[in-house]
Structure 1
Amino acid sequence: MMRFVMLSIVALAMSGCASNVVTDYNSSVVFGNYSSWAFAPTTEADSSSFVSLDGSRVRDAIERELNRKALQRVPQAEADLLVSWQIVPEERLEQTGLGLGFGFGSGNFGWALAAPPPVREVEEGKLVVELADSTSKEVVWRAASRRYLNENQSPETRRKLIDEVVTEMFTKYPPGLD
C-alpha cells in the first residue's frame, strides 16, 4: 500500500513539472542577430476589418514578452523578425457524467451489461506563435500551447490563460538558454 502511495505522489509531481508549451526552432540560426520585430502582415484569407477580443489579448501579451526580451518593435519593412500567431481550433470529446452497468453470475461465470458515460464534442483553441526571419521568410522559432481556450471561459479567465501561455512560450526564447 505504501508503495502505491509513493508512486502516486511521484506521478503527480512529475505531471506538475510537464510543460504546457511545445517549442521548435531552427538550430542553425543565431538568435542573437535579431534585435527588432513586427507583426507579420495578414493574408486576405484571415484578414478582417477588426481584431477579435482574444486577438487583442494575444497581441498585447506577445508585445509585452518581446519587449522583455529587449527586442524593439519597428515598422514591418525594418524588422528582423516577423511575428505571426493563430488560435487553431481543435475538437475533442469530453465525458459528461457516469457510465452505468449491472451484472449477475456466480462462481467463475457471469454476464454484465454496461453503458459508457455520455460524451459531448467540445471545440477549443490552441495558441500557436511563430517567428520568421524577415529576409528569408522562413520560420525560425515556433511555440504551441498544450492548454486550450474554450467558449465557456470568462473574459478574465481567457486573459489570464493567454498571458500565462505567452509568458511560458517566451521563457523558451531564445532557445538554448534553459
Structure 2
Amino acid sequence: MKTIKLLPVLAFFILASCSSVRVNSDYDKKVNFENYKTYAFLKSGVDKVEISDLDKKRILRSIDDVMATKGFTKDSNPDLLISIFTKEKERVDVYNSFGFGWGWNPWWGMNYTNVSTTPEGVLFIDLIDSKTKELVWQGEGSGYLTKDTHKKDERIYTFVSKILEQYPPNKK
C-alpha cells in the first residue's frame, strides 16, 4: 500500500526535475560589478551561435527583459558586452523496476528497464568588460528543450532568467 502512495510523489519529482533549469556561474573575483550599468550584444559572438535566427531573437529579447529588470540599459557605448553560446545533447534516463510474477530468472520475478531520451540544451551567457575585452562573468543553464513553438518563448525566458539570477555575484 505504501508503494502506491509513493508513486505519485516519485512521478512529481521526476517531472519537476525534467522541467527545471540547472544553473551555474563563475566570475572574476577581482572585478567590481557595481561599475557596470550599460550593455550591448557582441555581434560577432551572437552571429556564431548555431541555432535558428528565431531562437536567437528569443534569447536576446529575454536577456533584454531580464537586464532591464536589473536596472541595466542598452547602450552603443556599453560597460559590458554580452555574448551567448549554445550546445544541445541527448539526456538519457534509465529506470529499473522489479515486479513479482512469472519470469525466466531464478527469483521468479521480472525486471523491467525503461530508457527514455530527452533533448537537453545548454545556454552560456558571457559578460565581457568592454574596455579590457576580458570575460568577467559566465552563466550556464541546462535543461530540457521544447519543439512546441507556443512554449519556446516561455522556456527560453526561464533559461535566461534563471541564469541571470546569479548576476551580479554575491562576493563572500
2:23 counterpart residue number: 21
Deviation at 1:113, TM superposition (A): 8.5
2:158 counterpart residue number: 164
What TM-score, normalized to structure 2? 0.71
Give the 5 Å matches for 1:32-111. Answer: 32-42=34-44, 46=48, 52-75=53-76, 78-94=77-93, 102-105=103-106
Deviation at 1:56, TM superposition (A): 0.9
Deviation at 1:26, TM superposition (A): 1.1
CA distance in structure 2 between the aligned counterparts of 1:177 and 1:155, rounded to whole angstroms: 39
Q: Does 1:139 align with 2:138?
A: no
Check whether the contact 2:98–2:109 (CA below 8 A) recurs between aligned residues: no
Per-residue CA deviations over 1:51-108 (Å, capped at 9, x if unaligned) read 6221111100001111112212112xx1111101122122333559989993354xxx
* DSSP 3-state at the match of 1:57: helix
* Deviates further, 131-140 or 29-38: 131-140
Check whether the contact 1:127–1:148 (CA below 8 A) recurs between aligned residues: no
Check whether the contact 1:37–1:83 (CA below 8 A) recurs between aligned residues: yes
Check whether the contact 1:82–1:134 (CA below 8 A) recurs between aligned residues: yes
What TM-score, normalized to structure 1? 0.69
**Structure 2 unaligned blocks of 5 or more:** none
Correspondence for 2:144 among 135, 141, 148: 148
* DSSP 3-state at the match of 1:143: strand
Deviation at 1:140, TM superposition (A): 0.9
Q: What percentage of residue pairs aligned between the two structures are identical?
A: 25
Check whether the contact 1:92–1:122 (CA below 8 A) recurs between aligned residues: yes
Q: Does 1:129 align with 2:131?
A: no
CA distance in structure 1 between the aligned counterparts of 2:112 and 2:21, rounded to whole angstroms: 35
**Structure 1 unaligned blocks of 5 or more:** none
Matched residue pairs, number?
A: 158
More helix by share: 2
When residues 156 and 177 of structure 1 are mapped into structure 2, their CA distance, relative to the original with a 3 A threshold, is farther
